[in-house]
Homo-oligomer: A and B are copies of this chain.
Amino acid sequence: MKSKATFYHAGCPVCIDAEKNLAFALDPQRFDLEVVHLGEHKGRLPEAKNAGVKSVPALRIGDDIYHINFGADLSALQ
């Protein structure tokens, strides 16, 4: 069974770059990747916040959050 991976971003240049080069670099045999644009889907903000996302871009793998470089603080998207 594949693990779920969620890439949270906000469309910023840092986000787009990390999506293209890192999120899409995950092994598709092992991960189901969902890409969530928090600027366009603000309803997902509480979920991201509760999971521990503090800034975007961030990649959630299982229960772990990996903040990748820094594009924007989550509070700027609310």
Q: How many copies does the complex hold?
A: 2
A40→B17 CA distance, assembly (Å): 31
CA of A33 to CA of B7, assembled, Å: 21
Q: Complex formed: what's the CA distance from A23 to B68 in Å?
A: 12
CB < 8 Å: which of B21, B25, B64, B66 contacts A27?
Answer: B25
Contacting residue for A68 out of B28, B62, B66, CB 8 A = B66
CA–CA, A66 to B22, complex, Å?
A: 8
The CA-CA distance from A17 to B59 in the complex, in Å, is 14
Give A64 Cβ to nearest chain B Cβ, in Å.
5
**Residues on B with beta carbons closer than 8 Å to the beta carbon of A27:** 25-29
- A3 and chain B: residue at smallest CB distance: B25
